[in-house]
Structure 1
Amino acid sequence: MRTPILQFGTSRFLQAHADLFVSEALEKGEALGRITVVQTTGSPERAGRLAALAAPGGFPVIVRGRKDGREINREQHVTSVARTLSTASDWDEVVRVFCDESEVVLSNTGDTGYRIGQVDLADAVPASFPGKLLALLHARFQAGGRRLTMLPCELISRNGEVLKRHVLGLQADRYPDSAFSAWLSEKVIWANTLVDRIVSEPIEPAGAIAEPYALWAIENQPGLTVPCRHANILVVDDLTPYEKLKLHILNLGHTVLADIWMKENRPAEETVKAILGDAGIRERLLTIYRDEVIPGFAAKGLGKQAEDYVAATLERFDNPFLEHRMREIANHHAEKLVRRIVDFKAWTPDVPMPRLTAIVAAQ
């Protein structure tokens, strides 16, 4: 059993995104092959998930919502995962698969996945994901150093460049070898990616419920290998427009609604769908999109793309099956205001944005 795709992370997002895409592509003969999934945290409560991910019949992904005006409610079984391992108990096998089989490496290690502690490299199996990845890359280099594509899916801008910077920083301390350093820069393809899909609920022990909308945009560069061909995977020359559209329309809209939810002391368990059921609040958001957000994108030559993305975003917000709670969106509100609103105003400084300005000023 050879698995050319190696995935770090067992999140419900990856189950309903990359794993599902590869499964659908395999049915058409348009994927590199199947996936080995590696758990990096050693969390004992996820042991059952590991077994279920590689079950012979696959695991379920339910896609529910609206797309292009149509209601969608379908269940699929994902059969792309061939093997599961844990860095806590299967490190030697992880090294072997990484060196002998892998052509593409995916990761989705959460908000703290790139955090590196002061004693990160003290043990044979480093504590952080960048530390583990460095050790694996060094083993691959020593085994002949075949080319490899890294496709991080963490929600970090320019995530490939950020991960590369972390790994090279650790490499200088643990493996101060100029040949290894050159290989990391020349033979490892560190791709910047953007992922976009709301995966609202897990299915235990493995599986997920997701919206119909899905995007995996990958910035092209020489030597890039993608895991499969799929309608929701776009290889693009520049990720910037896709990042800006998501951050300053979808995410900005969430933050505007969260600001209203907190300031007006609305119900604790209110969802995006429910708050937009208030006609007055809906009109406030639509006005911001129409008078401030779309003109801002138009000033950058992206007016039509912004109009289309706003329409898709509103359809996603109105998903009748999605229980996306405002209290979850409101987490880290002050930080999100900066990234989603303040940075948008700075990106398009000549476009008047009185309502967005007022939201920021009131903090």
Structure 2
Amino acid sequence: MTAPSLADAGIVQFGTSRFLLGHVAAFVHASREAGHTRDRILVVQTSPREAGKQKARDLHAHRHYPLVIRGRRDGQDIDTRETITSVADCLIADEQWPELEQQFIEHARFVVSNTGDNGYQVDDDSSLAAVPESFPAKLTKLLHARYSAGRDGLTVLPCELVSRNGEQLLALVQELAQRDYADADFDAWLTSRCLWVNTLVDRIVSAALEPVGAVAEPYALWAIEDQPGLELPCQHPDVQRVASLAAYEMRKLHILNLAHTYLVHRWQREPHSGIRFVREAMETPEWAAELRQVLDEEVLPTLAEHLERSELEAYRDATLERFANPYLNHALQDIAQHHPTKCQRRLQPVIESARRRGIATPRLDDAISSAQSTTHSR
């Protein structure tokens, strides 16, 4: 497939996930419709999976795709459908590297990525390969081509769920650049001419539509940590330029993610309950009340040492509203993957902080103990 002119595709997006189609691409679409943004998106398919390549071909063939928003936000029921028109085209990196490199050199202004749980895994990959395997090595090779062409730097906005994702991605690219090119001027260009931005994303995009499209919840957030010289790729009420991501990360990890993990604990206690989805748990009065008690009596009083209580309560309310979304089949079995590890990351820091403050956490203690017992019994 041959891409048309991509002169207006100033955003290069690595990843074809339904999340990005229902999150970043939707924000860019709305910003273009409002006249705030001129850039469109070039989507890049990066994995060797044939299913992923077929999705890329479908996206190339359609480009305009439906986004269905269903659920409740701020007490209002929402069920809408719109056509997203922000995608200019989609390239398959393994098959169309020269076209991708040319676009990256000539027209790119922003890089966006959401490359999955192993997206930052490099192993023995090299950016000197004809087509590197890993996302960091692909990005390093493309940045070196842009630098060698005498072009200015660009803004990198990773969306992977990794703390300080911009800083971590820069560290990986610097390591690859120093090993593969050993060019001090290129190293300096990476840090002085490019902006590496920490971001946090939050939206449940619950289903894909065939051949291209997505179903998402109304709630959305793209928090982007400010730094000198930062220009955002779009304007939207759910795209927020913030001084620090710390509060956003803390709320998401220790309220929303913690609540998901606590529901898994409750689900594992009653394996024959017949409850499969988060929304079904919230429809069960006993389960919903217990989760609310955990948040109100153990979590929020503990987090209030660091964050404003009113902000915590507002985020709690939004979280419970999202969990009760009647359109969202968010399976507890899926959330239960790596449950002991999630308990350690999401629950244990709250327990330790509560203990220092003299706050009792009996339900969180029970959840941690159960997770540890399961691990030790294997």
TM-score normalised by the shorter chain: which range applies? Answer: over 0.9
Rounded Cα–Cα distance in structure 2 between residues aligned with 1:69 and 1:329:
26
Q: Distance in 2 between matches of 1:230 and 1:165?
A: 30
Provide the residue aligned with 2:221 in structure 1.
215
- TM-score scaled by length of structure 1: 0.96
**8 A Cα contact 1:32 1:227, kept in partner:** no
* Aligned amino acid, residue 66 of structure 1: R
Question: Any idea what SS the aligned residue of 2:36 has?
Answer: coil
TM-aligned CA deviation for residue 345 of structure 1: 3.1
Matched, 1:333 2:339: yes
Tell me if 1:151 matches 2:153.
no
1:1-363 matches, within 5 Å, as 1-2=6-7, 3-55=9-61, 58-121=64-127, 123-266=129-272, 270-347=276-353, 349-352=356-359, 353-362=361-370, 363=372
- In structure 2, what is the Cα distance between the partners aligned to 1:340 and 1:105? 30
Q: CA deviation at 1:45?
A: 2.0
CA RMSD after TM alignment: 1.6
- Cα 1:268/1:39, change in 2 over 3 Å: farther
Look up the SS of the partner of 2:215 in the other structure. strand
- 1:52 CA drift (Å): 3.4
Shift of 1:354: 2.7
Question: How big is each residue's C-alpha offset from its partner over 1:160-202, in whole Å with a ceiling of 9 and x where there is no partner?
Answer: 0111111111112101111111111111111000000011111
Counterpart amino acid of residue 80 in structure 2 = R
Q: 1:52 to 1:267 in 2, by over 3 A?
A: farther
Helix, strand or coil: the match of 1:6?
strand
CA distance in 1, matches of 2:86, 2:259: 34
Q: In 1, distance between residues paired with 2:268 and 2:235?
A: 42
1:115 and 1:245 map into 2 onto residues whose CA distance is 27
Instruction: Supply the AA of the counterpart residue of 1:303.
Output: R
**Alpha carbons 1:4, 1:101 under 8 Å: kept:** yes
Structure 1 residue 16 displacement after superposition: 0.3
For 1:118 and 1:202, how far apart are their aligned partners in 2?
33
**Cα shift at 1:44:** 2.1
Q: Aligned-pair distance for 1:268?
A: 6.8
Paired with 1:347 and 1:166, the residues of 2 have a C-alpha distance of 32
Unaligned 5+ runs, structure 2:
1-5, 373-378
- Give the superposition deviation at 1:277: 2.1
What secondary structure does 1:64 align onto? strand
Q: CA deviation at 1:261?
A: 0.8
Contact 1:292 1:351 (8 Å CA) reproduced:
no
What is the percentage of aligned positions where both structures have the same residue? Answer: 43
Cα distance, 1:339 vs. partner? Answer: 1.2
Secondary structure at the residue paired with 1:36?
Answer: strand
Paired residue total = 363
Work out whether residues 194 and 216 of structure 1, in 8 Å CA contact, stay in contact via their aligned partners in 2: yes
- Supply the distance in 2 between the matched residues of 1:122 and 1:148 (Cα, whole angstroms): 21
CA drift at 1:119: 4.0
Write the distance in 1 (CA, Å) between the matches of 2:229 and 2:147. 17
SS of residue paired to 1:10: coil
Tell me the distance in 2 between the aligned counterparts of 1:300 and 1:57: 44
The alignment partner of 1:262 has SS state of helix
1:56–1:79 Cα contact (<8 Å) kept = no
